[in-house]
Structure 1
Amino acid sequence: MNKINTPMQNKTIFRALLLSAACICSFSIQAQDKKAKALLDQVSAKVKNYSTIIIDFKYSLSNAKENINQDSKGNVVLKGNQYVLNFMGATKLYDGKKTYTIVPEDEEITISKVDENDNTAVTPNKMLTFFNTGYKYTLNGDATVKGKKIQYVKLVPMSSKDQRKEIILGIDSQTKNIYNLVEVGKKGTKTTLTVNSFKTNQPLPKNQFTFVKSKYPNYYINSLD
C-alpha cells in the first residue's frame, strides 16, 4: 500500500528540493567564477612577461537614446608604466612621471603629474590589467571571430558609484591576449574597443617616451603642476 504524504511533508520535501537546486546553482556559479579568474590571471601573467606592447585598435561609441554613433582608430605603445597613445587627433605621452597631452589642431600641450597610486584612474598602461581588482566576474560564453576562438568574461563593478553597468572582455583562447572590450554604461552608452593588431617585444627608439619641447616651437604649453 502506497503511503500518502501529508501537506506538511510535501512542503518539507519541496523546500529540500529548492535548497538542493540553490546549492547546485551556487556551486555552478562558483565554478564559473573560478574559471573566469583563472583566465584573467593568465592574461595578466602574459602582459607582465612582455617587454613592450604595440596595439592598433578601433574604438566605437554608441547610444541609441541620444542617437550617437562614433567610430575612431588609434594606437598605443606600452613599456612598463610608460606609454604613447595616439587617438582622435591627439597624442598622450607618459614618461613615468608626467603626462604630456599634445593637440596639433590647437597647437597646445598640457603637462600634468599622475598619481600612480590612484586606482580609479584609467590609463593605457592599466587597460590590460584593470580587471584585477574591483569587479565581480563570470564566464560569458565564447564565439569564433575571424577564425579565432574568443572567450568572454563579464565584469560587474563592485562600486555603486561606477557609471558602468558591466564590462564584457573578449580574450583570445590561444594567445590569452585581449581581443576586445565592451563597456555598457548605466545610461545606455556603449563603448567598444577592438584590437586590430597586437605586437609584443618589439625594439623601440631610446626617446620613445621622452618629451622633446624643441619639436613644438609654436605651441602653447599649459603646465598644471
Structure 2
Amino acid sequence: MKLFHKSYKTLGLAVILFFAGITVTAQNSQKAKELLDQVSAKVKSYDNIQIGFTYSMQNLKQNINQESKGNLTLQGNQYLLNFMGITKIFDGKKNYTIVPEDEEITISNQDDNAVDGMSPAKMLTFFTSGFKYSWDIVQNVKGRKIQYVKLVPTNAKDYRKEVLIGIDAQTKHIYTMMEMNKNGSKTTITVNSFKTNQPISKNHFTFTQSKYPNYYINNLD
C-alpha cells in the first residue's frame, strides 16, 4: 500500500511539473512575441530608416567564410540596397538590380509569395508571421543589453532551421540577426549604424535608365 502511495505521489509530481513546463514555455513564447511586436511597431513609426550593416556567411562543411558590408535605405515598402558591389532598387512596383561589373540591369516584378529568404523591404519586420517564438539569452554588448529571441519557421519548405534576433532592450532596434540554415551554413547580419527620419530626395528610389547608357537591360516581366 505504501509503495502504491509513493508511486502515486511521484506520478502526481511528474504531472504537475509537466504542466508547469507548458505554462513557462507559453509565457516565454508570449514574452518573445510581445518584444517582436514592439520592434515592428517602432520600425513602422519612422518615415524612413537608413542602416549600415555587416553580413557574414559561414559553412564549415564547404570551408566558406565570407564577410561584406552594405547599406540599406527603407521607406514604406520602397528600398535602396547597396551590397557586394550591386545596387538593388524597389520603387514600389518594380525591382531593379544593377550590376556594374557586368554592366547589366535586371528588371522584375516583386514576388510577395516567395517562401524562402527575405526581401530588403522586410529585413526589419520579416518575423511578424510564419514563425514560432521563444525567449532566449541576454548579452551585454559594449554596454548595451541585447535580448535574443529564437524563431523557428512553421513552413517545412523554409530553408532556415532557426533564426536568432538580437534586440537592443532600450531602443527596441534590431542589433543582429543570425540564420542557421538546413544546409549547415550560418549567416549573420550585424547592424553597425541605425538612422531614422533622414532627409532624402523624392527620387531616391527612382531608377533612371539614362544613367546607364551602355548597360544591357534584362527585363524579366
TM over 0.5: yes
The correspondence for 1:127, drawn from 123, 129, 133, is: 123
Equivalence for 2:107: 111
Equivalence for 2:210: 214
Equivalence for 1:60: 56
State the alpha-carbon separation in 2 of the partners of residues 80 and 195 from structure 1: 19
Letter in 2 for 1:99: N
State the alpha-carbon separation in 1 of the partners of residues 61 and 217 from structure 2: 38
Could you tell which deviates more after superposition, 91-100 or 30-39? 30-39
Equivalence for 1:224: 220
The correspondence for 1:143, drawn from 135, 139, 142, is: 139
CA positional deviation for 1:130 = 0.8
Letter in 1 for 2:105: I
Structure 1: segments with no counterpart, 5+ residues: none
State the alpha-carbon separation in 2 of the partners of residues 81 and 144 from structure 1: 33
SS in 2 for 1:162: coil
1:73 matched to 2:72:
no
TM-score norm. by structure 1 comes to: 0.95
CA positional deviation for 1:80 = 0.2
State the alpha-carbon separation in 2 of the partners of residues 122 and 44 from structure 1: 15
Q: Tell me the alpha carbon deviations over residues 155-182 of structure 1, each in whole angstroms, 9 at most, x when there is no partner.
A: 0111111121110000000100000000
1:175 matched to 2:134:
no
Equivalence for 1:32: 28
Equivalence for 2:154: 158
SS in 2 for 1:199: strand
State the alpha-carbon separation in 1 of the partners of residues 61 and 142 from structure 2: 31
Letter in 1 for 2:87: T
Letter in 2 for 1:61: M
Equivalence for 2:10: 14
State the alpha-carbon separation in 2 of the partners of residues 127 and 8 from structure 1: 58
State the alpha-carbon separation in 2 of the partners of residues 30 and 53 from structure 1: 33
SS in 2 for 1:41: helix
Identity of matched residues, %: 58
TM-score norm. by structure 2 comes to: 0.97
SS in 2 for 1:128: coil
CA positional deviation for 1:64 = 1.0
CA positional deviation for 1:198 = 0.4
State the alpha-carbon separation in 2 of the partners of residues 147 and 202 from structure 1: 26
State the alpha-carbon separation in 2 of the partners of residues 184 and 174 from structure 1: 26
CA positional deviation for 1:25 = 1.1
State the alpha-carbon separation in 2 of the partners of residues 175 and 147 from structure 1: 13
CA positional deviation for 1:9 = 2.3
CA positional deviation for 1:135 = 0.5
Q: Could you say what the CA RMSD is over the residues aligned between the two structures, in angstroms?
A: 1.1
Bigger CA radius of gyration: 1
State the alpha-carbon separation in 2 of the partners of residues 115 and 186 from structure 1: 23
SS in 1 for 2:58: strand
Letter in 1 for 2:173: N
State the number of aligned residues.
Answer: 220
CA positional deviation for 1:119 = 5.9
1:89 matched to 2:91:
no
CA positional deviation for 1:7 = 2.7
